[in-house]
Structure 1
Amino acid sequence: MDIIISNSSGKPIYEQITTQIKNKIITGELRPGDALPSMRVLAKELRISVITTKRAYADLEQDGFIETAPGKGSFVAQKNTEFIREENYRQIQDLLEQAIDLSKSCGLTLSELTELITLLYKGDS
């Protein structure tokens, strides 16, 4: 599994793992029922502590993204479409808040920002 850990990131390593696996599930790269690497294997691949991968998997399970079967491993949970939609909505809101802050700092008006979003949303059509 391709997970990139950044030591210069302000986020803890377990949170970086959690975020990247959530994104893979949300985008469909990981599908319901797909097996995740064992905590030990992932820790070895990333050269981190098993405790760190255990924390990431525990958070993913608590959030409903994965299910763990003792002796069998961890698997992507069956998608709860409403939950995935809510997670996407939250990510969009976070990104829009960043865009709004940047727009305000450079003097872009609400109507200019709205026009830009409309153009981007509609694309070239």
Structure 2
Amino acid sequence: MAVSAELFLSTTDSTPMYQQIVDQITAKVIAGDWKPGQALPSIRELASASRVSVITVKRAYADLMLAGIIVTRHGMGSFVAESSDLPTDLLRAEFTQHFDALLACAARLGITRNEIRHMLDDEQAAPTPDTSGGSTP
């Protein structure tokens, strides 16, 4: 069973259309909405449903294949990659990207790695807010 070809692409977003497709498909895989082995819409079907060119979808699928998120089987179509660790791997990659950005920003601010460690320790020691409406011990 193929997944829905419905994506929400914005013409006013500065992010290129192919990247919006990559980001949304990646998010659906991370969330578990699109399961390993599940068939993706054909390139033409997704292009038509999203009102973008076939070339745009081809580029997005090529990027997704390079990232290991999807696989294409000649004559059969494209599928979510068969890896039970895929959502975790994608989240870890996203975390690493954010972490690298944090380190770069800290370096620009002159914050040392030791200061970052102390910040993390302080954050970990701080009580977490109680979202249930009660008080935190």
Which of the five TM-score ranges fits, normalised by the shorter chain? 0.7 to 0.9
Q: Which runs of 4+ in 1 moved over 4 A?
A: 122-125
Q: Does 1:44 align with 2:48?
A: yes
Pairing partner for 2:123 from 91, 109, 114: 114
- Contact preservation (8 Å) 2:32, 2:87: no
Q: Normalized against structure 2, the TM-score is what? A: 0.68
Residues 74, 118 of structure 1: alpha-carbon distance in 2 compared, 3 angstrom cutoff: farther
**What is the identity percentage for the equivalent residue pairs of Structure 1 and Structure 2?**
36
Greater Rg, structure 1 or structure 2?
A: 2
Structure 2 residues not aligned, in runs of 5+ = 107-118
Partner residue in 2 for 1:8:
12
Q: Does 1:31 align with 2:35?
A: yes
Q: Structure 1 residue 114: deviation in Å?
A: 2.4
Alignment of 1:25-104 (within 5 A): 25-79=29-83, 81=85, 84-92=87-95, 94=98, 97=102
Structure 1 residues not aligned, in runs of 5+ = 102-109
Alignment length, in residue pairs? 115
Q: Normalized against structure 1, the TM-score is what? A: 0.73
Amino acid at match of 1:89: R
Q: Structure 1 residue 33: deviation in Å?
A: 0.9
Higher helix share: 1
- Superposed CA RMSD in Å reads 3.3
Partner residue in 2 for 1:106:
none
